[in-house]
Structure 1
Amino acid sequence: MDRNSITGIVLITVILGFFWWINKPSEEQQAEQQRRRDSIALVEKVRLEAEAQADAARKVEAEQEVVEKDPATIAAEKASKYGFFASAADGQQSFVTLENNLIKMKISTKGARIYSVELKEYNNHEGNPVVLMHGDQNKFGFYFTHSNRNFHTNNLYFDVASTSSDKADFVVNAEEGQMTFSYTLPDNSYMADFNITTRNMASIMSTNTGSLGIEWNMRMDAQEKAPDFERQRSGVYFKYDQEDVDHINAASSDSEKLSTKVQWVAFKDQFFSSVFISKDNFLSGEVSTEAPEEKSDELIMNAKALVNVPYSGNDNLAFQFYFGPNDFKTLKPFEEEYQLRKLVYLGWGPLRIINLGVIEVFHFFEGFISNYGLIILLLTILIKLLLFPLTYKSYVSTAKMKVLKPQIEEINNKIPKDKAMERQQATMALYRKAGVNPMGGCLPMLLQMPILFAMFQFFPASIELRGEAFLWADDLSSYDSIFQLPFEIPFYGDHVSLFCLLMSITNIVYTRINQEMTQSSQQMPGMKGMMYMMPVMFLFFFNNYASGLSYYYFISTLITIGQTLLIRRFVDEDALLAKLNANKKKPSKKSKFQQRLEDMQKQQAQAGKKGKRK
């Protein structure tokens, strides 16, 4: 900093200090301000004391009024207010627990609803048991009208009619009518049976549509250590009757009307689901997701569903709840009837077909290898071996282009830059005579792309990797971190993922090798730098993704580099050039692709000449 800057700062400080001094209140003014503050505080104190005395008086009066009323009067007032549900309007909440070797289901007498579900074999990222429903933060039941008053079963107190080790019945009596909620939890199962029975309730519980609307709201908290990543793979899923499964994602707030029959509705996070199933289908409904304002929030979403079921007053409504992992093997028994395997999102169309095969191979390796890092390694090697013919064909096609580069450069030197169309036609003629397909190097790579994208869907959906450690990664289903940053980098995060870093480095090396094979003096300016942008983008894109996915891409690219270097040792470029030169002397036939390309070039050239004449 120079002398003038220092002098300026000092002068500004002096001026500001002078103005503060001349505008400072006098002692009399300060005393007056203090008196005003004291007066305001005194008035506020008197007001609060008066309100407290009034509240105490009202409380005493209310207590005296209750004491003075006899039980008959109180009962009459409750009956007038709540009708036949007066005895269920007030009560003390208690709990009944159904438990097997897989889950512990806690049911509240208030609403006869499932209060919480604990999965015994799974823990969240903090080491606590996975809980799929969180007490008073969820709501379940149906609403109806009685005595011109709106009721919701979530707020009624049920009596425990009977309990056993695997079953509990809850009942509400209303004069001659009765409503029963029954839960049954079989041993060794994530599926619980739930039945609603109503008897003589048609005149007591009235609805306008001849159906009951069952409301299910649930707060879904993060189970994994990367909430935003988990949120992208969560949502509300639903299956239409005789149709496929659809969903709305939890990444943003959304809703959807279910205008036709629906078989089930599921609140799903990355690895676990709570599914409400109707054995006779829901008539219609609406589902919605409410995403948190802060994406880093531990809340994944607030999920809501409103589904309608037929109602006559004398009904036996049969449902089921599935509370468990999104595991292909666990969901297999329910696939034929409910297609619950669609909760494991494996991509659309061809990607899902590829991943179904990958899952079978994955489970095969799982049968005799316990280390999932080694399973991923073997899976990668197997995939690369299957794709090796395409890799070899792609390399040979690129090598043909490489050995013809001197001849292409000669064409470019003969034909001026302003005659780009003539250059292209001459180059295509050279390729045709030599028997080279310009797309030969691209097509094999394009055929490999579906597998690349399929793996992108497979690893984040594989619950088998959850909590499995390998090398420095403590959980292959989440990101690996070798260093925690003291700040957060936009689009990158607050940690350094080593598998992601290794993947990016190997992609840069592979890009370098490819450029050596395809470099040309006619390469567009800046294209060389653009080729390196994708590996750098991988560094940002995959830093928060599943480490198993980054590990797979790292090993896959490493094997591809090894295959490329191996093929290079066995491909004699001089012999390849000699063969191509020999092909040039033979009469050649144009492929349909080359013929169409040349016809297009001629049409463009003619159009260009006409434009110049005008």
Structure 2
Amino acid sequence: MEEKKLDLKTIVGFGLIMLLLLWMIYNSSAKTEAENKAKAKQEQLDKAKKTQIPEQASASVVKDSTISDSVQVAQLKSSLGAFAYSATLPSAKNNFTELNNDVLLLRIANKGGYIAEANLKNFEQFEKGSNKRVELIKDNNASFNLQFKTKDNRVLNTKDMYFEPVVTKEGENQILTLRLKAGPEQYLEYRYTLKKDFMLDFSIRTQGLSQIVDTSKPIDLEWQLKSYRNEKSVSYESRYTDLVYEFEGGKDDKLGQGKDDKETVDDVTYVAFKQHLFVSILLTDTPFKTADLTSENLVKEEKTDTIFTKNFTAKMPLAYKGGELSYNMNWYYGPADYKILNDYNRNLDEVIPLGWGIFGWINRFAFIPLFTFLAKFLPYGISIIVFTIIIRLLMSPVTYKSYLSQAKMKVLRPEITELNEKYKKDPMKKQQETMKLYTTAGVNPMAGCLPAVMQIPVFYALFQFFPSFFDLRQQSFLWATDLSSYDVVYRFPNGIRIPFYGDHVSLFPILASVAIFFYMKMTSGDQSMAAPPQEGMPDMSKIMKIMIYISPLMMLVFFNSNPSGLSLYYFISNLITIGIMYVIKNHIVKEDKIHALIQNNKTKPKTQGRFQRKMQEMMEQAQEQQKNKPAGKK
């Protein structure tokens, strides 16, 4: 019995020992597994740190970017050379530095030192009330980079490297200094100074880099921007979106008007990426020796609702002086407003397409001052109407002269027809007698053409004025919500688009077309009766009958996508012209009075003017040469 008890205790003891051993093995295994997981995770983190180059974090994240790992510093130095020093410095708390005034908000990226966002506070995209600010730069649609070569044969780009930012103030001016450092006193510096308006000072300079950077070759500056669509009509905005530049001490030119384009230009003082009614400009006090400029059209089809209109690029070399770089520049981000740009006195008004020669002079010295004055006291729609009345009244003497000439020619038509029949076999004699009749009657056959020619500069200047006058943007009148863009009274459903007409119906072009139809109906009879048909020449009366219908149709189609302010002008202008012509025809110029005046002129002795005398001599010489020709050679 004693032996059995001993065996039972032994079994129980062994069982307890086994349980204890199992418990110890389990705990050891769990601990080892946890340690292995933690160790593996740490190894992954260490590996990531060693291979990863510091990247720009979100603006809302605060990080200390001080690099203490000697292996990581060595890796950076292998790729950045001496500029690896900049990566070892603490960055700003945010990865963007903000400059802000009443009209402009800028965010400058510490990585690259370029303007990453340009926000215009007081302007909205597309239509008033959209609550979407005009942003010339956002979401990486623009870049600014300097590419240079170091003496150890590295090619570096500033867009890939970190700048150290310092913000200070001078009075009300905000100053941001960004330095890309190769050492405590060796750096490339960008300096931004934001004042009260849309223009900010910008400078690029180096200090102590002559031993690091290869100064035998210039630094390549590249500025690129994809222009955002900001207006209601993408096709119309693209038409007026182009690249403008000034070169050779004051000359200006543009490229990219509706097509892809590129140009290489010397001695460039500014480059402007113009987005119809807004513009981004880079100016320099020291002209760029050369500039490679490109413009790529991004609006391939009018029916496509695109985000961007053009892609602009400008590449310019920056030359070293004494082994260092020093350029004073300016940035302008703001409206393409003639008054604002002209006030800078740096030839920036040439960015606005007001027309060349006399057309631009009319806009600069007449139309812009007059309209600006009226808009101080009147709503913009009423200002256009008053503006139109003033122009038509000033042009009314020209209209009177033109109609008076037509009336005189109409009275003379029977006599001219008689001469045509009498001398139909002798064209030279017919011309001589016709000129003699004009002289004795006191009629100048060119008098009807000259007034029409005189109106061409006014017509073209107005055609340039309305699409370019910034003040009309998002100003409403009657059913038009934006006088700088087309008005819409009906939009075709399901994306229907009529070729050459568009996807909508504008009412102002319809009214203008109706008005021009009645005006041409009123005057076409007088014009066709003014001069009889000449042998071998088309019958003008038939052409005028066709033009009565073609001209209004062309205006209807063409003006449907043009600014409603321009269509409003031509509607009011044609109404006023109809009124002026009615008064002239029925109360001022009457055929019986004209006939009596011509008969009276015939009785008076006439002296030929220089032009008429010259024409007479030329016809006589031609007639004499005709007589002297041998019969076989006639």
TM over 0.5: yes
Q: How many Å separate the matches in 1 of 2:384 and 2:339?
A: 18
- Aligned residue number for residue 6 of structure 1: none
295, 306, 309: which is aligned to 2:315?
306
Q: Is the 8 A contact 2:238 2:299 kept in 1?
A: no
- Find the aligned partners of 1:496 and 1:425 in 2 and give their Cα distance: 54
Which is greater in Rg?
2
User: SS at 2:444's partner residue?
Assistant: coil
Q: For 1:132-189, what per-residue CA distance to the aligned partner results, in whole angstroms no more than 9, with x for missing partners? A: 1123221102101133221111111222234568222222221352222221211x21
1:127-206 equivalent positions in 2, closer than 5 A: 127=130, 128-146=132-150, 147-162=152-167, 166-175=174-183, 177-186=186-195, 188-206=196-214
The 8 Å contact of residues 235 and 299 in structure 2, kept in 1 or not, is answered as: no
Structure 1: tracts of 5 or more residues without a match: 1-58
Are residues 485 and 195 of structure 1, via their aligned partners in 2, closer, same or farther at CA, if it must alter by over 3 Å? same
Tell me what 2:331 maps to.
321
Number of the residue aligned with 1:4: none
Deviations 1:251-271 (A, max 9, x none): 111112122x22211111211
Task: Supply the distance in 1 between the matched residues of 2:205 and 2:553 (Cα, whole angstroms).
Answer: 61
CA distance in 2, matches of 1:155, 1:577: 85
User: Which residue of the partner structure matches residue 593 of structure 1?
Assistant: 611
CA distance in 2, matches of 1:405, 1:526: 17
Q: Which residue in 2 is equivalent to 1:31?
A: none
Give the residue type in structure 2 aligned to 1:333: D
2:571 is the counterpart of 1:573? no
Distance 1:202 1:612, change over 3 A: farther
1: CA distance, partners of 2:385 / 2:314: 42
Alignment match, 1:85: 83
Q: Does 1:265 align with 2:271?
A: yes
* Structure 2 residue 377 is the aligned partner of structure 1 residue 368: yes
Match of 1:531 among 527, 547, 571: 547
User: Residue in 1 aligned with 2:461?
Assistant: 454
Name the counterpart of 1:386.
Answer: 394
- Maintained 8 Å contact 2:147/2:158: yes
Residue 542 (structure 1) aligned with residue 542 (structure 2):
no
Counterpart position of 2:438: 431
Q: Counterparts of 1:463-542 in structure 2 under 5 Å?
A: 463-486=470-493, 487-520=496-529, 522=533, 523-524=539-540, 526-532=542-548, 533-542=550-559
State whether residues 238 and 258 of structure 2, in contact with CA within 8 Å, keep that contact through their aligned partners in structure 1.
Answer: yes
SS in structure 1 at match of 2:405: helix
Q: What is the distance in 1 between the residues matched to 2:357 and 2:285?
A: 28
2:318–2:325 Cα contact (<8 Å) kept? no
Tell me how far 1:428 sits from its aligned partner.
2.8
1:354 aligns with 2:362: yes
3-state secondary structure, aligned to 1:276: strand
Structure 2 portions without partners, runs of 5+: 1-40, 52-67, 534-538
Alignment root-mean-square deviation, CA = 2.8
Q: Which runs of 4+ in 1 moved over 6 A?
A: 59-64, 67-70, 89-93, 606-609
Which position in structure 2 is the counterpart of 1:244? 251
Q: Deviations over 1:85-105 (max 9, x none)?
A: 235579998111110001000
SS of equivalent residue, structure 2 residue 483: coil
Change over 3 Å in CA distance of 1:66–1:469 after alignment to 2: closer
1:309-358 deviation digits (Å, cap 9, x = unpaired): 232454443221111112233224311xx121222221001111111121
1:529–1:388 CA distance, 2 compared to 1 (3 A): closer
In 2, are the aligned partners of 1:250 and 1:290 still within 8 Å (CA)? Answer: no
1:285–1:305 Cα contact (<8 Å) kept: yes
What is aligned with 2:283?
277
Is the 8 Å Cα contact of residues 112 and 163 (structure 2) preserved in structure 1?
A: yes
8 Å contact 1:254–1:290 — kept in the other structure?
yes
For 1:218, the equivalent position in structure 2 comes to: 225
Displacement of 1:107: 0.8
Q: CA deviation at 1:534?
A: 3.2
Query: By how many angstroms is 1:491 displaced?
Result: 1.9
Q: 1:613 to 1:543 in 2, by over 3 A?
A: farther
Deviations 1:97-141 (A, max 9, x none): 110001000111110110011111111105211111123221102
The residue that corresponds to 2:575 in the other structure is: 558
The change in CA–CA distance for 1:67 and 1:543 in structure 2 (over 3 A counts) is: closer
> Relative to structure 1, is the Cα distance of residues 79 and 542 closer, same or farther in structure 2, using a 3 angstrom cutoff?
same
Alignment of 1:333-348 (within 5 A): 333-335=343-345, 338-348=346-356
C-alpha displacement at 1:612, in angstroms? 7.1
Distance 2:235 2:409 in 1: 45
CA distance in 2, matches of 1:582, 1:383: 35
Query: Could you tell me which residue of structure 2 aligns to residue 125 of structure 1?
Result: 126
SS of corresponding position for 2:134: strand
Between 421-430 and 494-503, report the one with greater CA deviation.
Answer: 421-430
Alpha carbons of structure 1 residues 67 and 203: separation in structure 2 relative to 1, 3 Å: closer
Question: Judging changes above 3 Å, is the alpha-carbon distance between structure 1 residues 68 and 170 closer, same or farther for their aligned structure 2 residues?
Answer: closer
Offset of 1:561 from its aligned partner? 1.4
Instruction: Note the alpha carbon deviations across 1:566-607, whole angstroms, 9 max, x for none.
Output: 011222311210120122233322333233334455566667
Q: Which residue of the partner structure matches residue 34 of structure 1?
A: none
Match of 2:503, SS state, is strand
Amino acid at match of 1:280: T
The equivalent position to 1:444 in structure 2, one of 419, 439, 451, is: 451
Residues of 2 paired with 1:331 and 1:152: CA distance? Answer: 33
Following superposition, the deviation at residue 368 of structure 1 comes to: 1.5
Instruction: Give 1:503's aligned amino acid.
Output: A
TM-score by length of 2: 0.80
Cα pair distance change 1:384/1:524, threshold 3 Å: closer
How many angstroms does 1:71 deviate by? Answer: 3.8
Give yes or no for contact 1:233–1:249 (8 Å, CA) kept in 2: no
